[in-house]
A and B are shown apart, each in its own frame.
Chain A
Amino acid sequence: MSSAASTPAFRIERSTRTSWIGLVLAIAIVVLLVSVPWWGGEDDLRLIVEICYTIALAQLWNLLAGYAGLVSVGQQAFVGLGGYALFGLTILAGVPPLPAIVLAGVIAALIAVPTALIVFRLRGAYFAIGTWVIAEVYSEVMGLIRDLGAGTGMSLPVAISRHVGETRFDREASLYYVGLVIGIGTVAVVFAWLRSRQGLALTAIRDSETAAGSVGINNDRTKYAVYLLAALVTGMIGALIYLEKLRISPDSAFDVIDWTADIIFIVVIGGIGSIEGPFLGALVFFALRYFLADYGAWYMILLGAVAVVIMLLAPRGLWGLVADRFDIHFFPVRRRVRLE
């Protein structure tokens, strides 16, 4: 039998030509982004921060839904908890705001542990509904905390936001760098995760849960890890958002449209199950908003219509069309065999 013969010479390649172009591009973009506070205005900084955390949220949701099969419509739970944790930590516990962002993420992840125990019992549509209901519960609970403004919410005392920077522009610039680190960091972590052994498990689960179990993959633990990672980073993002907004209320912090529906839109139109997709989706999302924001309700209707059309014509999103036609991967997670 051939198994007795020696193995042919081979190499395993983990990068592609486009991934090197992508790397150069990415470095150029990062350098450009780092320099923005020297030449950009406050509005530019705010917009870029928003794009950063939106892309981060989209990457996380994609990891959950596109890979782990966890179609959560309750990620606003962790944005809200992160935001409230920031307010609680800074106002009630006197923690400086920037460390509080990290702690808020940890708190969100800790709350995600029992949350997962509940929602992981549910499958498919019940899981989606379950996550939403839990987010509503957390929203109600936050609305009961009198020291954090109860149902009407509260503002962050000026003394606390001073910690971030003396002048208004200093504050914006500091938060800008926090946003940049979270955005780039999230993409880097998701990319590293998908390239690793964990990523192999996750892609296998995405393609067939049954077969994944049969080759020794612990589906539950793999999904659990993704859920906690998403909660950790989403909590930090929530903290950042409300440190920038300076005002929090249960209705805004746990808003399903802003923190989950828009994100789902981005991932679905950009292309679920790839890292590139959420970038493309975010591009489309911000472009549509830029051109149509003045049209109010029409904007929402158009957003929905675009999503439906793309779902029907390109189930794997815009990136799916691009990847099929040109076979390019800016974030190569594959292993290619080269026989020598």
Chain B
Amino acid sequence: MAPLLSLEHVSKNFGALKVIDDLSLSLDAGEALGILGPNGAGKTTLFNLIAGDLPVGAGAIRFAGEDVTGLPAYIRCRRGIGRTYQIPHPFGNMSVFENVLAGAAFGATRREAESYERCIDLLRLTNLLGKANLPAGKLTLLERKRLELARALATDPKMLLLDEIAGGLTDTECQLLIETIRAVHRSGVSIVWIEHVVHALIAVVGRLFVINFGQKLADGEPRAVMESPQVQEVYMGIEER
């Protein structure tokens, strides 16, 4: 079977800076993939390319059997690519509920009234139901990250791109987040998760992909990848938090 997502020799430059360098990657339907790499390695840029927030410099991106390289972000979302932002982008003057509703009403192209129940469920899942009527701009950083998750899930993604949502959590909160993402994964959503909190990542994903300077450094079973010499070398000093 063809993979759900595949990147074929994708590159991206910002001026003279080569941020993604001839990168190829594929993800099967139902997989949970972790992405690891030092700061500035190009992880967020990779998501921006997959989700269509940035055009690729070279290469092609295929999703669910279709070449999406030239499609705008909103169409990729409707095709089933959901994402969260590392730096949350809430709709600050809209209520928390309406933020999620926007995802359900446009990304999932349901009728508005039919989305309400789904939105309430997602707010409960992300523990934001008590703040449903608050303007999203008034949320704390951690709440904003959970809102990113709820809003992305509201679009009914086939594949969910998570960009560093575990940072700054207490152990209990982190455990809850792991449970939540596992539940999403079990419901049939493929996951690509960028995370520096390695133990959280490994608790969820079945495969790790390590990026350094925009290139693939390693790809495979999490333990084996973490123990490989090239990853050890890059990750000296970045121990599991």
Contact = CB atoms under 8 A, between A and B. Distances in A.
A215 B92 contact: no
B125 A1 contact: yes
Contact of A211 (B91, B93, B187): B91
Contact of B51 (A204, A214, A219): A214
Most A CB within 10 A of own CB, among B102, B105, B112, B120: B102
Given A197-B112, A200-B98, A210 B103 contact: no
B213 interface: no
Interface stretch (B13-21, B32-40, B71-79, B201-209): B71-79
Interface in B68-127: 72-74, 77-78, 83, 85, 89-95, 97-99, 101-103, 105-109, 112, 116-117, 120-121, 124-125
Nearest to B91: A207
Contacts of A210: 53, 85, 89
B91 A208 contact: yes
How many interface residues does chain A have, given as a range? Answer: 20 to 34
Given A201-B106, A335-B101, A337-B133, A216 B77 contact: yes
B103 to A, nearest CB: 4
Contacts of A10: 116, 120
Contacts of A2: 124-125
A216 B107 contact: yes
Contacts of B117: 7
B124 to A, nearest CB: 6
B185 to A, nearest CB: 11
A336 B125 contact: no
Given A213-B72, A213-B77, A216-B74, A336 B102 contact: no
B98 A219 contact: no
Interface residues of B, number: 46
B106 A1 contact: no
Interface string A79-108: 000000000000000000000000000000
Nearest to B148: A211
B209 to A, nearest CB: 22
A213 B94 CA distance: 16
Contacts of B151: 211, 215
A8 interface: yes
B154 interface: yes
A200 B111 CA distance: 13
A339 interface: yes
B155 interface: yes
Given A211-B91, A335-B95, A337-B132, A216 B180 contact: no
A3 to B, nearest CB: 5
Contact of A336 (B85, B92, B95, B105): B95
Given A206-B93, A273-B93, A339-B129, A214 B73 contact: yes
B105 A203 contact: no
B169 interface: no
Nearest to B186: A1
Interface string A179-203: 0000000000000000001001101
Interface in B137-165: 151-152, 154-155
Most B CB within 10 A of own CB, among A7, A208, A214, A334: A214
A337 B95 CA distance: 10
A17 to B, nearest CB: 15
B2 interface: no
A217 B102 contact: yes
B121 A337 contact: no
Nearest to A334: B95
A211 B89 contact: yes
B183 interface: yes
A258 B125 CA distance: 53
B179 interface: yes
Nearest to A273: B93
Contacts of B52: 213
20 contacts: A1-B125, A1-B180, A2-B125, A3-B124, A3-B187, A7-B121, A200-B112, A201-B102, A207-B90, A207-B93, A208-B92, A210-B53, A214-B73, A214-B74, A214-B83, A215-B107, A215-B151, A216-B78, A337-B95, A337-B132
